[in-house]
Amino acid sequence: MSHDHLSVRPRRLRQTPWLRDLVSEITLAPKDFILPLFLRDKTDDALDHLGIRRYTVKEVYPVLEKAADLGIKAVMFFPVIANAYKDETASYAFSSENFFIENLHYIKQKKYPLTLLVDVALDPYTSHGHDGLLVKKTDGDFEIDNDETINLLVEMSFLYAKAGIDGVCPSDMMDGRVAFIRKKLDQEKLFHVCVMSYALKYASCLYRPFRSIVNAQPLQGLHDKKTYQMDFRNKIEGLREMHLDISEGADMLIVKPGLFYLDQVARLSQTQTVPLFVYQVSGEYAMIKAAAQQGLLDEKMAFLEAAYAFKRAGATGIIAYNALEMAKWIKE
Ligand code: PBG
């Protein structure tokens, strides 16, 4: 059989590494990664969960320096709160004793060339583990009070912003919170503080490792988060959530989890009018990490392939637990 007529040969562009580099479409850079960081009080333990650990404020300074040196542009803080400080109404979040707020303030003073973001939600502070206020209805069942929760999220955002944070990231999925947070920040003349909202957050099994890292309590009253986080059987609803958050004033959006939800990243990136980030959550990080530890995957290759997938789908950037390593690997 003669192949003389075979004039179209895509393999021609794959012959050498330099030719492949020349025609490659997607690039990864350190600036594409946001590093999540867990801040603990001195009395709590550091825990090391597959390479994710909790830092005291003193321990986190060198990490922030390293991040900036590697070319990372943003970090996102989460509080680790001891059980003794948790209650039904998350009151420690609003206490003048809150070590987390104090730490944010110290970190701001250091003037790192980094955008300081903070996750805004009640679940690290509540004894029932929910992201909202849990109330008992007259029939004895429990529900999450959307509007009362918003009041607390607004206050929390304000306190974090006052401590010097550059952007607040509400991860609770209450209706309308972005609008009220924006309004409060503006009233307080904190016009410069960004809102990066978790616009699409699905009720996923992939958050489990995170919950032990932040010491979130086992859920009580309602046994899952399905009355506020999204149903993973839904697609169109994602557009609705995106448009709502943008119209309420969100400056940037997050889709979460990442790999199982690439269809939504791809879809939203077609119509988005604001930067769109994807969160490679603890469970998907752990899947790669654990498989690599068992010799089933090459860790570096797997993480890089996933990162290219996020960018190919159209993400502006990736929230990744191993952002420092990713930045190093990219530079190699
Ligand atoms: C808190 C919050 C969660 C995550 C980020 N912010 C947990 C949850 O909603 O249950 C998950 C992050 C991860 O799994 O890496 N609202």
pLDDT digit of tens for each residue in the chain (332 aa)? 667 788 899 999 999 999 999 999 999 999 999 999 999 998 888 888 899 999 999 999 999 999 999 999 999 999 999 999 999 999 999 999 999 999 999 999 999 999 999 999 999 999 999 999 999 999 999 999 999 999 999 999 999 999 999 999 999 999 999 999 999 999 999 999 999 999 999 999 999 999 999 999 999 999 999 999 999 999 999 999 999 999 999 999 999 999 999 999 999 999 888 999 999 999 999 999 999 999 999 999 999 999 999 999 999 999 999 999 999 999 98
d(CA 122, CA 184): 18
Calpha distance 241→315 (Å, rounded): 17
Antiparallel, parallel or unpaired: β 115-120 and 74-79: parallel
**How wide is the angle at C-alpha 152 spanned by C-alphas 168 and 194, nearest 5°?**
15
The residues near 93 (Cβ < 8 Å, ≥ 6 apart) are 122, 125, 152, 156, 159
Q: Strand, coil or helix: what is 145?
A: strand
Q: How far is the CA of 266 from the centre of ligand 1 (A)?
A: 22
Report the atom number in ligand 1 closest to the C-alpha of 285. 15
Using the structure block, give the residue that is written with the tokens 């980094």.
114
Give the Cα separation of 29 and 315 in Å (integer): 13
Nearest-angstrom CA–CA distance, 24 and 193? 36
pLDDT the model gives residue 4 = 74
Q: Which is the closest atom of ligand 1 to the Cα of 121?
A: 16
CA of residue 239 to ligand 1 center, whole Å? 21
Residue nearest to ligand 1 atom 11, measured at CA: 207
Do the beta carbons of residue 88 and residue 125 sit within 8 Å?
no
* 52 Cα: distance to centroid of ligand 1 (angstroms): 14
Q: Which atom of ligand 1 is nearest to the CA of 204?
A: 10
List CB contacts of 160: < 8 A, sequence separation 6 or more: 101, 104, 118, 120, 168
Ligand 1 centroid, distance to 211 Cα (angstroms): 7
Half-sphere CA count of 271, side-chain side, radius 13 A: 11
Which protein residue has the closest C-alpha to ligand 1 atom 7?
207
Tell me what pLDDT residue 42 has: 87
- Long-range contacts made by residues 247-251, C-beta under 8 angstroms, separation at least 24? 248/176, 248/178, 248/179, 248/182, 249/178, 249/179, 249/182, 249/195, 250/178, 250/195, 250/196, 250/197, 250/199, 250/274, 251/167, 251/194, 251/195, 251/196, 251/275
Nearest-angstrom CA–CA distance, 152 and 149:
5
DSSP state at residue 219: P
* Amino acid 1: pLDDT: 61
Report CA(124)–ligand 1 centroid distance (Å): 10
Among protein residues, the one with the nearest Cα to ligand 1's atom 5 is 171
What is the pLDDT, as a whole number, of residue 206?
A: 98
| pLDDT on residue 209 | 95
Residue closest to 130 by CA, chosen among 119, 143, 140: 143
**Active-site annotation, residues:** 201, 256
Which residues form ligand 1's pocket by a CB distance below 6 Å? 119, 121, 123, 131, 171-172, 207, 210-211, 225, 281-282
Q: Is the pTM of this model over 0.75?
A: yes
